[in-house]
Amino acid sequence: MELLKYRTHYAMQIKPEMQGERVIVAGWVHTKRDLGGKKFIVLRDKSGSIQLIISKHESEKSVIDAFYDISKESVIMVEGIVKKSDKAPRGVEIFPLKITLLNKASPILPLDVSEKVPADMDTRLNARILDLRRPRVQAIFKIRDNVLKIIRTVLREKGFIEVNTPKIIATATEGGAQLFPVLYFGREAFLAQSPQLYKELLASAFERVFEIGPAYRAEESDTPFHLSEFISVDIEAAFIDYEGAMDILEEVVVRVLDGVRRENIEELELIGHEPPKISGKIPRITYDEAIEILQREGFDIKYGEDISTPAQRKLGEIIEGFYFIKDWPTDTRPFYTMPKEDNPNLCEAFDLMYGWLEVASGSTRVHRKGLLIAQLERQGLSPKSFEYFIKWFDYGMPPHAGWGLGLDRFMLILTGCRNIREVVLFPRDKKRLTP
Ligand code: AMO
């Protein structure tokens, strides 16, 4: 019943076998073509599109008038007869008996939805709502929807529950420089850079939690890989260490790649991309090994420092596909990261890389209060301002580990898009706050 007011069928449900059936479809005018004796409208709806054929001699006058009246992107409802036709796309079209104009679009559009007129990224993002009507752009977001579904399925299978933590918070977690301040009833607060501290506390209550939510970073860098608001897939689990956390991440990545390949065949075809395959396990190299490789290549890189973007690019040329870099220098990682027992200069942390792009990072966390305070002080942070976090370490904090995966960066790999803004509905960066 739900369908009957405006339509009996979606565009893609119209099949040649339905020859002669009376149907009602509704959607947007994708394209309009006037060949004189014959006129064509391609009607687009959420399922795809269907051609309407109007004949100068056989169609009702009201239908011909409607053809001239409607502009591209107008919303119409069409009642008509299904016609089998070898010339029509998918071998079928509709001969309209009645066209109802539900809402007329302005004849000058800020973006051509049918993609006949090319547009650069800024134009596309300025007219994002029209851009999101493009079938190829929709394919990206259908894949994204499936990715979210698969991630949730895998993590629930593994005993995680989905949680939502506050995004207005009192202190930084990933270093102070990139924080967005918020005026909070006269006090200073910040937008959360990560659910880090909350997910750790929750691991002491639920053992296994995950969150898929926004993370905010005042990113100065204007790159195709940074946003000031991105979606972070976060997990935290009690009674595992970083190797266990990598195992879970590996399974999530493998299952997503597999699921998208199997379930998004049409979308992948539309965007012309094949996601990578993983054969076997994802290699886990150490920071030491990464530095050795780079030095062997003649790269001027100091042991103990973070790996710079140019060095990362070099590494990505040498090691293709997905790989982990683990056992980072303790000084390069946040205070909550567990140092290695046999060498506290290194810590139980990892990054998941794809070529030179960092997709996720994680670690074993410090679960003893004394060490946590020492690490805060070592990084010049005040334990007092983390009191709301630290105090719970007195009441039974289990050993735990976790990771955060940048969903939007992961989407780049899955779709082959080159700019992170393409895989986000309404991207936020230093220059863009609307739409
Ligand atoms: P990290 O700071 O490495 O770790 O962030 C995790 C992942 O988030 C993605 N990411 C971004 N994506 C788009 N735009 C950005 N500005 C941006 N910044 C980061 C990356 C990165 O790998 N709390 C830890 C995770 C943990 O240890 O559990 C954290 O936030 O893909």
CA of 317 to the centre of ligand 1 (A): 22
Q: pLDDT tens for residues 27-85?
A: 999 999 999 999 999 999 999 999 999 999 999 999 999 999 999 999 999 999 999 99
Give the pLDDT score at 74: 98
Residue whose CA is closest, atom 8 of ligand 1? 406
Phi then psi for 261, rounded to 5 degrees? -60, -40
Q: pLDDT tens for residues 282-340?
A: 999 999 999 999 999 988 888 999 999 999 999 999 999 999 999 999 999 999 999 99
CA distance 429 to 226: 8
CA distance 50 to 95: 11
Note the Cα 358 to chain centre separation in Å: 15
CA distance 51 to 32: 10
CA distance 208 to 205: 9
Q: Which CATH architecture has domain 131-423?
A: 2-Layer Sandwich (3.30)
Task: Identify whether the C-beta of residue 417 lies closer than 8 Å to the C-beta of residue 144.
Answer: no
Pocket test for ligand 1, best of 165, 232, 420 (most atoms within 8 A of CB): 232
CA of 127 to the centre of ligand 1 (A): 28
Sketch the domain layout of the chain as residue ranges.
11-103, 131-423
- Compute CA distances 277 → 19, 236, 258, 260, 262, whole Å: 43, 27, 8, 11, 12
Residues with CB under 6 A from ligand 1: 174, 194, 196, 217, 219, 226-227, 230, 232, 234, 358-363, 402-404, 406, 408-409
Number of neighbouring beta carbons within 10 Å of residue 221: 11
Task: Identify whether the C-beta of residue 347 lies closer than 8 Å to the C-beta of residue 306.
Answer: no
Three-class DSSP labels, 76-133 = EEEEEEEEECCCCHHHEEEEEEEEEEEECCCCCCCCCCCCCCCCCHHHHHHCHHHHCC
11-103: which CATH number, 3.50.50.60, 3.10.50.40, 3.40.50.2300, 2.40.50.140? 2.40.50.140
Number of neighbouring beta carbons within 10 Å of residue 49: 21
CA distance 417 to 268: 12
Q: pLDDT tens for residues 123-181?
A: 999 999 999 999 999 999 999 999 999 999 999 999 999 999 999 998 877 766 789 99
Q: pLDDT tens for residues 196-232?
A: 999 999 999 999 999 999 999 998 889 999 999 999 9
CA 221 to ligand 1: nearest atom: 16
Pocket test for ligand 1, best of 223, 227, 358 (most atoms within 8 A of CB): 358
CA distance 435 to 189: 25
Judged by DSSP in three states, 42 sits in strand
For the chain, give percent helix, strand, coil, nearest 5: 35, 30, 40
CA distance 233 to 249: 10
CA of 128 to the centre of ligand 1 (A): 25
Give the pLDDT score at 119: 96
pTM, two decimals, is 0.96
Q: How would you classify the pairing of strands 208-216 and 229-238? A: antiparallel
Query: Is there a common fold for 11-103 and 131-423?
Result: no
Q: What average pLDDT does the chain have? A: 96
Buried b (16+ CB within 10 A) or exposed e, 302-326: eeeeebeeebbebbbeebeebbbbb
Residue 3 pLDDT class (50, 70, 90 cuts): low
As a dihedral over the C-alpha atoms of residue 278, residue 283, residue 284, residue 286, rounded to 10 degrees, the angle is -140
